[in-house]
Chain A
Amino acid sequence: MIGQITPLIGYLLVAALVFSIGLAGALTRRNAILVLIGIELMLNAANLNLIALWRYGPHPELLTGMIFAIFSIAVAAAEAAVGLGLVIQVHRHARTTDLDAINRMKG
């Protein structure tokens, strides 16, 4: 197996790398919008895993992974809309999107 990377392993490794990049971005950036970008990258890495395992899985004709990824894309779009609305409202309230500066629960 060493030196021989099959397509499925390659896709899974790329997805793991993108997930880790998104996690690093979500944990280290100060801007709330950049944290949301990191979360979007993590969701996309999960979608890549679903599609890759659907493609190289035992029963691709059942479409399970593909349908799961399509629903995941729809839910991620809803999450992005609500999250960015929340960021805009927090900015209006606290006058900043710096997460290190927003440290009070009671406005």
Chain B
Amino acid sequence: MSLIFYLLAVLTVAGGLAAVLLKNTVHCALALTVAFAGLALLFLNLDAQFAGFAQILVYIGAVAILVVFAILLTKGSETPQGGVFSRSWLVGIAAAAAVFAVLGWAVVASAPRLLGAAAPAASANSTTAANPAPAVTVEQIGRALAGRYVLPLEIVAVLLTVALIGAVIVAMHEKEEAK
């Protein structure tokens, strides 16, 4: 495990924690951007360049801006009376802790098998040597998207169109009383 991974993990987790814990909603959106950037850097660290830059473009470029617009349109930056957390916050924390315990236990318990699947002929100490970076070019991704995965690509295109029209219709100001 390299130092870069620990730095990026700490950045991502700190951004996520700040995004759910801060009181001001705008600060939460900015912390969410930090978490997205940390995840994008983790993708780049995993040699997934295309997914990393897609993450930066889509999440930091579009979703974070959408969140900020929604906060400003709903005046959500004002801290409400009675705190920012729900009345049933203890149940939520307990459920999240239980989920993390189960996930962490599952990952740690399956560690030897995961290692066996990843590097069948290598020891744990030489993981970088046993796992050379897969040489994936954007051309290969494009060929896969246009060849083997062309049907999901078309469905995603339809889904994005429907979501765009649907979001506009849902958020459009309807003045039916005035008619």
Contacts and interface: CB of A to CB of B under 8 A. Distances in A.
Interface of A: 1, 4-14, 16-31, 33-34, 36-38, 40-41, 44, 47-48, 51-52, 54-58, 60-61, 63, 66-67, 69-71, 73-82, 84-89, 91-92, 97-100
Interface of B: 1, 5, 9, 12-13, 16-17, 19-20, 25, 28-29, 32, 35-36, 39, 42-43, 46-48, 50-51, 54-55, 58-59, 62-63, 66-67, 69-71, 73-74, 76, 80, 83-89, 91-93, 95-97, 99-100, 103-104, 107-108, 111-112, 114-115, 117-118, 124, 127, 131, 134, 136, 140-141, 144-145, 149, 152, 156, 159-160, 162-164, 166-168, 170-171, 173
Given A14-B9, A31-B84, A86-B170, A60 B159 contact: no
Given A31-B76, A91-B73, A55 B46 contact: yes
A57 B115 CA distance: 9
Given A25-B19, A34-B20, A48-B39, A58 B117 contact: yes
Nearest to A41: B16
Nearest to B144: A63
Contact of A10 (B9, B66, B136, B163): B9
Contacts of A54: 46, 48
Contacts of A77: 58, 62-63, 160
Q: Dominant SS at the A interface?
A: helix
B159 A78 contact: yes
B145 A67 contact: yes
Contact of B163 (A61, A81, A88, A98): A81
A98 B82 CA distance: 11
B32 to A, nearest CB: 5
Contacts of A5: 1
A11 B66 contact: no
Given A5-B1, A48-B39, A78-B163, A18 B92 contact: no
Contacts of B156: 71, 74-75
B152 A71 contact: yes
Nearest to A17: B13
Contacts of B87: 100
Contact of A36 (B50, B67, B141): B67
Given A21-B96, A30-B80, A30-B85, A55 B134 contact: yes
A28 B160 contact: no
A16 to B, nearest CB: 4
